[in-house]
Structure 1
Amino acid sequence: MEYRKLGNTDLALSVITHGAFAIGGNMWGGNEKKDSIDSIHASLDYGVTTIDTAPFYGFGLSEEMIGEAIKGKDRSKIQLLTKFGLVWDGSNNGKGEFFFNAEDSGKQIPVFKYTAKANVIKEVEESLKRLGTDYIDLLQLHWPDNTTPIAETMEALELLIQQGKIRTAGVSNYDVDQLKEASQTLELASNQVSYSMLNRSIENNHVPYALATNTGIIVYSPMERGLLTGKYFNESKLSENDHRNGYFAQFDLDKVKTFLQVIEPIAQRKGATLSQLVLKWTTLQPAISIVLAGARNAQQAIENAKAVNINISDEELEIINNELSKF
């Protein structure tokens, strides 16, 4: 496994990080607890020391399973990354910014973006309990909340660092202007953003800013929620309540299928899967610190971890990038 320093911090994170959204189950058609915990154990066994989650994933379930999976293990060798700022239990008392209605057991649950200081502190205590730990390595704002001043949220993070409850702080889904405003109060370690072969918009502004300020970029959805594995063009069928039924509709699926057919021989020559080739390509892009890869079972976790072992030549990169330029 390869490990990279995150931005301006002393955190050394595994370049392939276990993304724990799917094991929470909600929005992903559910998942088996044993498979979820096995996926975490397999990640750790293959050198993936970093796990990224959030309270919203499974409404606390993802954090709880991570806590169970790492119980008794050497905590100093595991980096826990979680988030705050999405409230679904009504504890915000109507405050914050309405985000969307999440479905759980057939019920519509309103989710709010809420990053007021008191709520940040409250959520951290809840996450620490679920994770079974006394500190979080990287705490990240999940989504910007336009009803709370950025400075107030950053002050809460600064206090938590001083208290030793978090080692460092970052954000998710911030634009560059928001990053600049936040930096007036607190030096952020990272920004977690969506990035993939099919979604490269961060290259215009986020990447130059990250390079100029030594801010880490954590990538989520590098596989576009499984689309770039290629399997959904073959045998796989999504559950009715799987959010990807709608998510995949944003892409020109015929173009995506053609692209994967062109690059698949590169993966085959290396004895690798399309997933591994895509993950490796993502780790090679400028300013990228770590790449989140979801795994719902041990086999997927092992496959993700082994992606770092692939070597992509300059010629192969050129082939891939030339095909991507057609999108």
Structure 2
Amino acid sequence: MEYRKLGKTDLELSAITYGAFAIGGNMWGGNEKKDSIESVRASIDHGVTTLDTAPFYGFGLSEEMIGEAIKGYDRSTIQLLTKFGLVWDGSNQGKGEFFFDAEEDGKTIPVYKYASKASVIKEVEDSLRRLQTDYIDLLQIHWPDNTTAIAETMEALDLLLQQGKIRAAGVSNYSVEQVSEAQNSIQIASNQVGYSMLNRGIEQDLIPYALQHDLGIIVYSPMERGLLTGKYFNEGKLKENDHRNGYFQQFDLKKVKTFLDTIGPVAADKGISLSQLVLRWTSLQPAITVVLAGARNAEQAIANAEATAIDLTGDELSFIDTALSKI
């Protein structure tokens, strides 16, 4: 496993980081708790020291399972990353910015972007309880809240830093302009954003900014929610309540399949999976600090962890980039 320094902090994160969105269950067609916890532990046992979660994932369930999964491990060797700013329980009392309606157990649950100082403080206490820890290594705002001044949100993070409840402050889904504004208040360690072979928009602005200002970049959806594994084209239908049924329709699926068929021999020659090849390519892109990879069971978790051991030559990277240019 490779370990990388996050921005200007003293945090060392595993280049492949466990992404805990799917184990929360909501939006992913559900998952077995036993498999989820085993996937976390298998990740840790194979060098993945960094776990990324959020209160919204399963409405607290993902954080609770992470807290349970890390029992028995030395807490100081694990980096817990979580978020705030998506609320659903009415604690915002009608404030904030409506985001979308989530579905849970047949019920519609309105989700709001809300990051007032008081709300942030409350969310952190809830996360600490669910994670069964007394500090969070990196706390990130989940999505920008256009109803709360960035300076107010950053004031909450500064207080939490002073109290020792968080080790570093980050943002997620922020534009370069929003990151720059947040930096006027406190040191921002990182920005967590979507990035993949099929979604390279941040290369135009965020990556140059990160390189210039030593900002960490944590990327999610490197596999485009499983599309780049190739399984979608081979294994057929997803569960009816799986959000990916709609998500995948934004891509030219015929071109994506052609691309995966083109780079497949590179993976085959190395005796690795397409997933591992895609993860390794992503981790080698400029300014990318860590790559989030989800896993539903121990087998997937181990495969993800082993991706950083893959050696890609300059010719192989060029071959992949040429194939990508045709999508």
Structure 2 length normalisation: TM-score? 0.99
Q: C-alpha offsets along residues 180-228 of structure 1, whole Å, 9 cap, x if unaligned?
A: 1111101100000000000000000000000010000000000000000
- In the alignment, does 2:51 pair up with 1:51? yes
Q: Where does residue 134 of structure 1 map in the other structure?
A: 134
- In the alignment, does 2:20 pair up with 1:24? no
**Residue 212 of structure 2 aligns to a residue in which SS?**
helix
Q: Where does residue 260 of structure 2 map in the other structure?
A: 260
> C-alpha separation between the residues in 2 aligned to 1:253 and 1:72?
44
**Residue 320 of structure 1 aligns to a residue in which SS?**
helix
Q: Where does residue 182 of structure 1 map in the other structure?
A: 182
**Residue 111 of structure 2 aligns to a residue in which SS?**
strand
> C-alpha separation between the residues in 2 aligned to 1:82 and 1:171?
11
**Residue 64 of structure 1 aligns to a residue in which SS?**
helix
Report how far residue 108 of structure 1 moved: 1.0
Amino acid across the alignment from 1:101? D
Amino acid across the alignment from 1:319? F
- In the alignment, does 2:67 pair up with 1:82? no
Q: C-alpha offsets along residues 46-93 of structure 1, whole Å, 9 cap, x if unaligned?
A: 000000000000000000000001112100000000000000111111
> C-alpha separation between the residues in 1 aligned to 2:93 and 2:280?
44
Q: C-alpha offsets along residues 223-277 of structure 1, whole Å, 9 cap, x if unaligned?
A: 0000000000011421111100000000000000000000000000000000000
User: Superposed, which structure 2 residues align to 1:214-225 within 5 Å?
Assistant: 214-225=214-225
**Residue 234 of structure 1 aligns to a residue in which SS?**
helix
> C-alpha separation between the residues in 2 aligned to 1:179 and 1:131?
27
> C-alpha separation between the residues in 1 aligned to 2:182 and 2:269?
46
> C-alpha separation between the residues in 2 aligned to 1:213 and 1:277?
29
**Residue 112 of structure 1 aligns to a residue in which SS?**
strand
Aligned residues: 327
Amino acid across the alignment from 2:198? L
Q: Where does residue 276 of structure 2 map in the other structure?
A: 276
Amino acid across the alignment from 2:44? L
Q: Where does residue 197 of structure 1 map in the other structure?
A: 197
Amino acid across the alignment from 1:299? E
**Residue 13 of structure 1 aligns to a residue in which SS?**
strand
> C-alpha separation between the residues in 1 aligned to 2:98 and 2:11?
34
> C-alpha separation between the residues in 1 aligned to 2:237 and 2:141?
33
Q: Where does residue 114 of structure 1 map in the other structure?
A: 114
> C-alpha separation between the residues in 2 aligned to 1:137 and 1:323?
38
User: Superposed, which structure 2 residues align to 1:1-327 within 5 Å?
Assistant: 1-327=1-327
Amino acid across the alignment from 1:176? V
> C-alpha separation between the residues in 2 aligned to 1:179 and 1:18?
24
> C-alpha separation between the residues in 2 aligned to 1:258 and 1:238?
21
Instruction: Tell me the C-alpha RMSD between the 2 structures.
Output: 0.5
> C-alpha separation between the residues in 2 aligned to 1:235 and 1:245?
14
Amino acid across the alignment from 2:38? D
**Residue 235 of structure 2 aligns to a residue in which SS?**
coil
> C-alpha separation between the residues in 2 aligned to 1:45 and 1:240?
34
Structure 1 length normalisation: TM-score? 0.99
Amino acid across the alignment from 2:307? A
Q: How high is the sequence identity, in percent, across the aligned residues? A: 75
> C-alpha separation between the residues in 1 aligned to 2:19 and 2:232?
20
Amino acid across the alignment from 1:44? I
Unaligned stretches of 5+ in structure 1? none
> C-alpha separation between the residues in 1 aligned to 2:270 and 2:305?
15
Amino acid across the alignment from 1:30? G
Report how far residue 325 of structure 1 moved: 1.0
- Using a 3 Å threshold, how does the CA distance of structure 1 residues 63 and 271 change in structure 2: closer, same or farther? same
**Residue 139 of structure 2 aligns to a residue in which SS?**
strand
Unaligned stretches of 5+ in structure 2? none
Q: C-alpha offsets along residues 150-174 of structure 1, whole Å, 9 cap, x if unaligned?
A: 0000010000000000000000000
Amino acid across the alignment from 1:180? S
**Residue 134 of structure 2 aligns to a residue in which SS?**
coil
Amino acid across the alignment from 2:128? L
